[in-house]
Amino acid sequence: MDEQTKELYVNFLRNNIDKIEWQRLSQNPEAIEFLTENQDKISWCHLSMNPAAIELLMANPEKIYWDEFGLNRFQPKKKDDPILKLNNRLMELELKNNLLQLRLDNSELKSKQLRIEFLIIMLCMAVIIVIIIKFIF
């Protein structure tokens, strides 16, 4: 993931911190910087399987889940590795898909909020009409 995309990703996470699924994010090698900033929310079990988390795990050995840690492969990867490139591309596509899904969820919530606001206004108008009618008669 390039730096611009990573920065966009981290900012998006910061703005939607209440929606994050921390178990999955804790497994994401691209999220280490963000996870380091939010250690109180980390799923340490899932982080123990994250190959990019070795420094964070070594700094917190009491939180390591050793069964999962034993399955982890902390192998350095070459930048020109075609599997790494494919994996990075898949992660970018998944990120874009997640961003799109959150945008759709947000627009659906706004639509529901507008309907509720409309119903509240209509209810207020009905109450005002009833008061006026009672006042006149």
pLDDT value at position 25? Answer: 94
**What tokens does 94 get?**
């998944």
- CA torsion sign for 99, 23, 55, 59 is positive
- The residues of the chain scoring below 70 in pLDDT are 1, 73-88, 104, 109
Distance of CA 115 to the CA centre of its chain: 27
| CA distances in angstroms from 58 to 37, 38, 62, 84, 104, listed in the order given | 16, 17, 9, 24, 39
H or E element in which residue 25 lies: helix 22-27
**What tokens does 92 get?**
């970018």
Contact 57, 69 (CB under 8 A): yes
Full-model pTM = 0.52
Contact 36, 57 (CB under 8 A): no
Domain ranges of the chain: 3-136
Contact 35, 122 (CB under 8 A): no
